[in-house]
Amino acid sequence: MLRGIELFAGGGGLLLGGTKAGVHHEYAAEWNKWACQTIRENSSAGHPLVEGVNVLEGDVRIVDWVNLCEPGSIDIVSGGPPCQPFSLGGLSRSANDPRDMFPAMTSVIKDVKPKVFLVENVKGLTRKSFSEYFDYIKLRLQNPEIQSSGNEMWDEHYRRLLSESKQSRHSLKYNVKSVVVNAADYGVPQHRHRVFIVGIREDLGREWLPPAPTHSGHALAYLQESGEYWDKYNISSADARPIRKKAIDDGLLPWKTVRDALVGLPDPEDSTLDLWLDHKYQPGAKAYPGHTGSPIDEPSKALKAGVHGVPGGENMIRYPDGRVRYFTVREAARIQTFPDNYALHGAWSEAMRQLGNAVPVDLASIFIDSVIKSADIESGE
């Protein structure tokens, strides 16, 4: 079992995915009390994906990481720093946003000196307007010992990094690579475009090989056009709403749809809902232009947390007849590929916030597994 640390753990998507890939997390750091409660209570209940993890509630920047774990003893540090500074739905202030936690992420890597690290964030980080700052982030992660000093602005630090990173006096360096992916291309029933930044410690002499997509929209269109998809669910031609993609048998698996994700879950207004964890009907969903929900026979839109609460457009299901309703917490958890026996704590809006901020568990597992194999640290040696 590999030793890991999870930063900005949230409700636990990246944490659970890492465990599925063979990582035992020594610590999970998170400031939100409800998210911490989610991890703690699932751990106390003996959930195998979070059993034994030590939750550090509070600001990751004030943790004494050197005293918690011997530098070099941790195999992987992973985390998704707050995305609001780079989100298309946020204020997009990047380095000028106090919520930018990339400096904190880099500082922990400097102190812990893990063999590898994995960082997840929104696709907005790769926008042209952020290109220089994105390059700065990667260069800083590549050379975590070259810290900013005093009141040095990020662009000043960037210029110094460009110069000092070419020198050999800093022993801790990482081979860094980034890639933008759509979670739907890896079997997650959701369109979720994210960037992964991976670093492998230079002394290991390895480079990351990102996993290739396994699913496609063309394959889903092919399955729907052949009728196999509709027959599987006994859906009449009148109720069929095929995806708007060219039907091609490209050798990949079909994208998973909302309907695929919710197989086996009863209607949340049904009397059997008490048999299901976090599967309670949430009233009040309405559709209007630009707020239409996720079609049931496609991957869902990206679940979102929202700055001013949860926006219902992304967190609603839309049926072929135009009806909409909110996803239950359990349905949203299914879409984020969380296990059915993993409880989310807090009110509906808070639980949905945790899920909206999370990395899909299966996507996290796939990518962390690829990092472990690329770095050849499966034995933990």
Contact 206, 177 (CB under 8 A): no
Rounded CA separation 282/317 (Å):
12
Closest to 355 measured CA to CA, from 317, 295, 306, 308: 306
pLDDT, greater one: 155 or 342:
342
Q: Comparing 2-213+359-375 with 216-341+348-357, is the CATH topology the same?
A: no
**CA-to-CA dists, residue 267 to 113, 236, 326, 342, 344, angstroms:** 48, 20, 12, 20, 19
- Which CATH fold would you assign to the domain 216-341+348-357? DNA Methylase; Chain A, domain 2 (3.90.120)
Rounded CA separation 296/224 (Å):
13
Residues 6+ away with beta carbon under 8 Å from 84? 90, 91, 97, 99, 307
The separation between CA 197 and the C-alpha centre of its own chain, rounded to angstroms, equals 12
Model confidence at 195: pLDDT above 70:
yes
Rounded CA separation 381/376 (Å):
9
Burial of 243-280, coded b for 16+ CB within 10 Å and e otherwise, reads bebebeeeebbbbbbbbbbbeebeebeeeebeebebbe
- Tens-digit pLDDT profile for residues 67-98: 999 999 999 999 998 755 444 444 333 344 45
Rounded CA separation 307/89 (Å):
8
Instruction: Give the Cα-Cα-Cα angle 50, 195, 331 (nearest 5 degrees).
Output: 50
Contact 123, 80 (CB under 8 A): no
Q: Which of 87-91, 210-214, 228-232 has the lowest mean pLDDT?
A: 87-91
Q: In this predicted structure, what is the pLDDT of residue 193? A: 96
pLDDT, greater one: 113 or 131:
113
Q: Confidence band (pLDDT; 50, 70, 90) for 307?
A: very low
- Indicate the domain borders of the chain: 2-213+359-375, 216-341+348-357
Report if pTM > 0.85: yes
Closest to 144 measured CA to CA, from 201, 229, 191: 201
Closest to 9 measured CA to CA, from 88, 43, 98, 1: 43
Contact 141, 117 (CB under 8 A): yes
Contact 328, 268 (CB under 8 A): yes
Q: Mention the CATH class of domain 2-213+359-375.
A: alpha beta
